């Protein structure tokens, strides 16, 4: 990422390097975006703007708002702050982290979700927990899994057993929704291992019926499988209905042709 920016700057300084500078700034931007590297995105976009405005000075007015976006990207520590800022100014512009774009889409639609997402002084882990809840509420298990796995690494590194139990249970539930019982059971067993390490007072206060949890996972997976089977059945019925209509129309066309045919 840094080497791409360095190359772009070198080309930008050369008299005939404008096109190559633009190319390398864009490559740096997409790489930063893929790695959710906010500051890198801002540096790449700023460099790109400078090169483009040198080519076309009239572009400065058009880029005024865009420069505001860049300033926000550099100033804000993480996506939650960016979301809050856009909420305050009532402008949900989609130039920000890719991983957060879908969450912001749900922000636009629901004041209740926005309220659930608010909170003061969040650490990055707390922010990710809120993003997970948001994705779960918005019925997007795939995105929730991505953030939960990041949290899992954080909890493992900081040796937090209690959050690990709930993170593994959440992942088990989400994988069951995605009809992958192998991964669901893997996380269920991991949750049980961390649960067994907890002190007796926690076990007394948070008694978990593991057989019930297992049954719920199976039910969730079966429900999803049946749901997808029902969808396929509906599509099949629609296709058969359309074919039947086509055959009926074709039959009527043939009959009409026979009636019009003159007798010898």
In a domain, 35, yes or no: yes
In a domain, 159, yes or no: no
Q: Would 232 be classed as within a structural domain?
A: no
Identify the pLDDT of residue 91. Answer: 37
Q: What is the pLDDT of residue 160?
A: 82
Q: What is the pLDDT of residue 181?
A: 78
- Residue 57 in any domain: the answer is yes
| The predicted structure's pLDDT at residue 174 | 80
Give the pLDDT of residue 231: 47
Full domain range(s) for residue 23:
1-75
- Structure tokens belonging to residue 29: 């931007």
Residue 230 resides in a domain: no
Q: How far apart are CA 116 and CA 18, in angstroms?
A: 47
pLDDT given at position 72: 45
Helix axes 98-109, 124-137, angle to 10 degrees: 60
For 29, 30, 163, 174, the CA distances from 7, given in Å and listed in that order, are 13, 15, 44, 43
Q: How many domains does the chain have?
A: 1
In angstroms, what CA-CA distances link 217 with 145, 152, 184?
16, 20, 7
pTM over 0.75: no
Q: Walk along the chain (264 residues) in steps of 10 and give the mean pLDDT of each run.
A: 77 77 77 62 71 66 51 45 45 37 42 45 54 60 76 80 83 80 84 85 75 71 52 51 54 53 51
Structure tokens that stand for 46 in this block: 């700023």
Predicted pLDDT at 216: 67
Cα–Cα distance measured from residue 8 to residue 13, given in angstroms and rounded to the nearest whole number: 9
Q: Quick one: pLDDT at residue 206? A: 72
**Residue length of the chain:** 264
DSSP state of 14: S
- Whether 54 is in a domain gets the answer yes
Residue with tokens 């978990």: 208
Q: What is the pLDDT of residue 248?
A: 55
Q: Extract the runs of DSSP E, i.e. beta strands, from the chain.
A: none
In a domain, 173, yes or no: no
Residue 185: inside a domain: no
């Amino acid at each position: 990422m840094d080497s791409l920016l360095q190359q772009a700057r070198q080309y930008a300084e050369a008299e005939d390097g404008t096109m190559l500078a633009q190319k390398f700034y864009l490559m740096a931007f997409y790489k930063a975006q893929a790695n959710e590297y906010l500051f890198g995105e801002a540096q790449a976009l700023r460099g790109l703007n400078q090169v483009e405005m040198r080519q076309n000075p009239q572009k400065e007015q058009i880029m005024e708002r865009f420069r505001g976006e860049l300033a926000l990207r550099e100033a804000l520590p993480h996506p939650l702050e960016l979301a809050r800022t856009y909420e305050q100014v009532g402008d949900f512009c989609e130039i920000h982290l890719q991983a957060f774009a879908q969450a912001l889409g749900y922000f636009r639609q629901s004041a209740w979700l926005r309220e659930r997402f608010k909170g003061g002084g969040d650490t990055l882990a707390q922010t990710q927990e809120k993003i997970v809840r948001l994705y779960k509420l918005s019925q997007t298990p795939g995105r929730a899994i991505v953030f939960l796995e990041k949290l899992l690494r954080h909890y493992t590194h900081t040796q937090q057993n209690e959050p690990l139990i709930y993170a593994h249970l959440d992942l088990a539930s989400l994988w069951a929704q995605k009809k992958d019982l192998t991964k669901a059971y893997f996380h269920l067993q991991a949750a049980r291992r961390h649960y067994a390490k907890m002190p007796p007072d926690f076990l007394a206060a948070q008694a978990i019926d593991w057989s019930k949890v297992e049954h719920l996972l199976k039910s969730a997976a079966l429900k999803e499988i049946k749901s997808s089977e029902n969808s396929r059945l509906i599509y099949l019925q629609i296709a058969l209905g359309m074919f039947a209509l086509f055959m009926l129309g074709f039959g009527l066309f043939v009959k009409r042709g026979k009636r019009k045919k003159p007798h010898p």
